Amino acid sequence: MNLRLISLSLSALTFCTGAHYTYAENIKIDTQNSSLVLQADKGKKLKHLYYGGKISNEDVNNIRQAGGKIFNAYPDYGMLTMPETALAMIHGDGNMTLDLVVDGVSTRKENGADIRTVTLKDTQYPVTVKVNYKTWPNENVMETWTEITNNEKSPVTLTRFDSGYLPIRNGNVWLSSFHGNWGNEARLTEEPLTRGIKVIKSHEGVRNSRYDHAEVMFSLDGKPDENNGRVIGAALCYGGNYKLRIDTDETDSHHFFAGINEENSQYKLGKGETFTTPALALAWSDEGVGGASRSFHKWGRNHRLAHGNTPRKVLLNSWEGVYFDINEQGMANMMKNIAQMGGELFVMDDGWFGVKYPRNNDSQGLGDWIVDAKKLPGGIQGLINEAKKNNVSFGIWIEPEMVNSRSELYEKHPEYIVNADKRNPKFGRGKTQLNLDMSNPKVQEIVFQIVDTLMTKYPEIDYIKWDANMDIENHGSQYLPADRQGHLYIDYMKGLEKTLDRIRAKYPDVTIQACASGGGRVNWGILPWFDEFWTSDNTDALQRIYIQWGTSYFFPAIAMGSHISAAPNHQTRRTVPIKYRTDVAMSGRLGMEIQPDDMTETEKAQTKKAIEQYKEIRPVVQFGDLYRLLSPYDEKGAASLMYVAPEKDKAVYYWWKTRAHRNEILPRVAMKGLDPNKTYTVRELNRIDRKPLSFEGKSYSGKFLMERGLEMPVNHDVEKEMQSDWSSRVLYLEAK
């Protein structure tokens, strides 16, 4: 019998003959470092055979004989059903079963990517499901998603519609996931997988990473290790409600399902309609969780993040400096200050708009995006002119998906808000905030117009901070018909994506930040339209180490807004010296969130130096490979990480003391990712010590730095009045 093997890694199809035990059409889908193998016999169930490190065609030929349980690759509900399934629907006639079998396999190319599609069709009903896999020759990440098409005469109702499923063999598998709350986002949690179902989900509708993240890592060799062991990283790329399920069954096998959260979201699909699920991105690593992170960062920069390969500007955002107290002189003053400190961009935050309902606080004005001439008599153009005088770019804050009940927009169009018939809406922020119903094309047009009007009138706007400070809390669409109310969450996201598509088609170059009360929109599903996210409203340097650490598992430094703010910090009231604040902020996309007038001369000088030095290391931080060295979550008294340029000729090393205990011996941190054979010269950045460090200007081999490392002094050598319990170091390593 023939064993046909189709390998996506080969340009032509490879046909192997001679195997005598089975007939199978095995599909091998390769990334740079991994293979996924499926068995796709026509008329049979699509089977998952393998996901792991890259394997040879010969291994694929004999993979079934290697033993082990085999599961369906996209489990459907109804016939010999697994306890958990990826897809379920109610047919037009009420039948609740699916029986999907392979109909065909096809391949296509799209912008340098290979897309392999397995088409499944139901044995009785005209329903087809395309299971897609997208890979790139130079990436370790693959994306999988499905397209569900109904050709029945009457609508079918989708009750579950996952993007993908992955069986993970029994063993000592651990889960890394990310949870938190406002101001405390992306806390790392590590736990072994045990019997039962673990569900991580969002039901917020808008700010979907505010509490729990849609990304997880599975460590297959026990407790997660930064550098060693086999790891699968998985990110559901979706900005709305999501659900990740891990079911550990009676054989201790783990079944991972990821997709849009189906709760309160049954979706009707009319004849001829197709439902496309968002992508589930998967990365395989045999270099621990760190390897998976680096793969996600590279793939994200190259294929997901807007302008992922363009350096980001150093900015000052007005929020924590003046809050709602916007006025022309204040803005001009901030621009002058950021320019003097070497910054490149000024962003005017909330408070600049509203005529009948001036935005003096958070209880009114959203929806009325007209400049408040009392505060800004010269208008936006006046500010842009001022920015030009200071040789900085200009950016502006908007929250286009939202409205206050105290606004002219709401007075004219109460029918545009998310709200159920017969209900008085419950309000969010400011006790007046409401969501606009993005499922409504008229609302989509309004949101497009907000950006289009600003950008047409003021084409020099360089940056938009796009905020979203409310979840969908009133279920109900005044636009969707009664039998489609369940579409609200999904159609909201579709409407938003459509609008963002229009905005990006017309304004491809403007930088847009995704902010959602801080880190509420940290997800690869939203980032194709955005250049970065506001990592957290919490700008406290110490807590930021924890937040950014968790965020760094899936997201690169270039996307992580990281700002120097005031002391005491406005969120934690902690007083942290400027040196430490700059040293933390410099590990992400550096910016400022402060009233420069309140800074001391020393603080200003330190910040100026930091900005100047950040510009030097910017390519390494924003495009380099991340190596996490000492986790703050291990509570060893310090935390450390580094970025290494792809050529390994430059690296930036960060070390932050995280607590001050007398005579506690802090770990010496060995470096990672360097070239063992290169010799690196060490230079301290942001230095405040009277004497240079003992290793300043000295050279060491990459081998030495990675095996032994440099010992960081526990305190700074500074004048008595500058002494504190805070200590941090940034080192720049350059190879000769």
Site string for ligand GLA, 203-242 (x = CB under 6 A): ----------------------------------------
Among residues 30, 212, 344, 537, the one that binds ligand GLA under rule CB under 6 A: 537
From the list 222-230, 447-455, 511-519, 562-570, the region that binds ligand GLA by CB under 6 A is 511-519
Q: Which is nearer to ligand GLA, 164 or 430 (CB)?
A: 430
Residue 25 within binding range of ligand GLA, rule CB under 6 A: no
Give me the residue whose beta carbon is nearest to ligand GLA: 350
CA distance 641 to 684: 15
For the bound state, the minimum distance from the C-beta of residue 626 to ligand GLA, rounded and expressed in Å, comes to: 25
Nearer Cβ to ligand GLA, position 518 or 632?
518
> Per CB under 6 A, does 319 bind ligand GLA?
yes
The SS3 call for residue 283 is strand
Q: Does position 407 bind ligand GLA by CB under 6 A?
A: no
- Helix, strand, coil percentages (3-state) for the chain, rounded to 5, are 25, 35, 45
To ligand GLA, the closest distance from the beta carbon of 515 in angstroms equals 5
Nearest approach, Cβ of 428 to ligand GLA (angstroms)? 12
Which residue lies nearer to ligand GLA by CB, 319 or 643?
319
Size of site (CB under 6 A) for ligand GLA: 12
From 229, 518, 525, 528, residue interacting with ligand GLA (rule: CB under 6 A): 518
Between 446 and 470, CB nearer to ligand GLA: 470
Closer by beta carbon to ligand GLA, 517 or else 606? 517
The CA distances from residue 340 to 391, 580, 586, in Å, are 10, 21, 18
User: Any contact of residue 177 with ligand GLA (CB under 6 A)?
Assistant: no
Cβ proximity to ligand GLA: between 33 and 469 the closer is 469
Buried b (16+ CB within 10 A) or exposed e, 687-711: bbeeeebebeeeebbbebbbeebbe
- Nearest approach, Cβ of 654 to ligand GLA (angstroms)? 24
Report whether 269 contacts 148 (CB < 8 A): yes
* Piece in contact with ligand GLA (CB under 6 A), picked from 40-48, 452-460, 512-520, 722-730: 512-520
Q: Is 72 in the site for ligand GLA (CB under 6 A)?
A: no
* Best CA proximity match to 638, nearest among 649, 630, 629, 626: 630
Pairing of strands 532-534, 511-514: parallel
- Shortest spacing between CB 30 and ligand GLA, in angstroms: 41
Reduced 3-state DSSP string for 6-49: EECCCCCCEEEECCCCCCEEEEEEECCCEEEEEECCECCCCEEE
Binding piece for ligand GLA, criterion CB under 6 A, among 277-285, 384-392, 434-442, 513-521: 513-521
Cβ neighbours, 10 Å, residue 316? 27
- Type and span of the H or E element at 148: strand 141-150
- The span from the CA of 570 to the CA of 614, in Å, is 24
By CB under 6 A, name the one of 176, 469, 551, 569 that touches ligand GLA: 469
- Min CB(296)–ligand GLA separation in Å: 24
Q: Give the residue from 392, 395, 394 showing the smallest Cα distance to 340.
A: 392
Among 369, 397, 448, 623, which residue interacts with ligand GLA (rule: CB under 6 A)? 397
Whose Cβ is closer to ligand GLA: residue 533's or residue 732's?
Answer: 533
SS3 letters for 48-82? Answer: EEEEEECCCHHHHHCCHHHCCCCEECCCECCCCCC
349 binds ligand GLA (CB under 6 A): yes
- For ligand GLA, give the closer residue by CB, 247 or 362: 362
367: contact with ligand GLA by CB under 6 A: no
The least CB distance from residue 317 to ligand GLA, in Å, is 7
Q: Contact between 515 and ligand GLA (CB under 6 A)?
A: yes
Q: Is the peptide bond before 568 cis (omega within 30 degrees of 0)?
A: yes
Q: How far is the CB of 429 from ligand GLA (least distance, A)?
A: 8
Least distance CB 681 / ligand GLA (angstroms): 39
Report if residue 346 touches ligand GLA, rule: CB under 6 A. Answer: no
Q: Is residue 85 part of the contact set for ligand GLA (CB under 6 A)? A: no
Could you identify the residue written with the tokens 């589930």? 280
Residue 212 vs residues 186, 399, 567: alpha-carbon distances, Å = 7, 22, 29
Part of the chain binding ligand GLA (CB under 6 A), chosen from 114-122, 515-523, 543-551, 651-659? 515-523
Should residue 467 be labelled a site residue for ligand GLA when binding is judged by CB under 6 A?
yes
Which tokens is 622 given?
């924003």
Residue 540 is a binding residue for ligand GLA (CB under 6 A) = no
Minimum CB distance to ligand GLA, residue 471 (Å): 13
Run of H or E including 471: none
Q: Please name the helix (run of DSSP H) or strand (run of DSSP E) that holds residue 627, with its range, or none.
A: strand 625-630
Token pair for 624? 């380099």
215-219/174-179 β-pairing: antiparallel
Q: Is 353 in the site for ligand GLA (CB under 6 A)?
A: no
Q: Which residues contact 197 (CB under 8 A, 6 or more apart)?
A: 84, 245, 246, 247, 248
Helix or strand (DSSP H, E) at 462:
strand 461-466
**CA 507, CA 465: separation in Å to the nearest integer?**
14
The one among 517, 548, 582, 595 contacting ligand GLA by CB under 6 A:
517
H/E segment holding residue 134:
strand 127-135
Among 344, 350, 320, 348, smallest CA distance to 581 is for 320
Nearer to ligand GLA, 313 or 683 (CB): 313
Which residues of this chain interact with ligand GLA, rule CB under 6 A? 319, 349-350, 362, 397, 467, 469, 515, 517-518, 534, 537
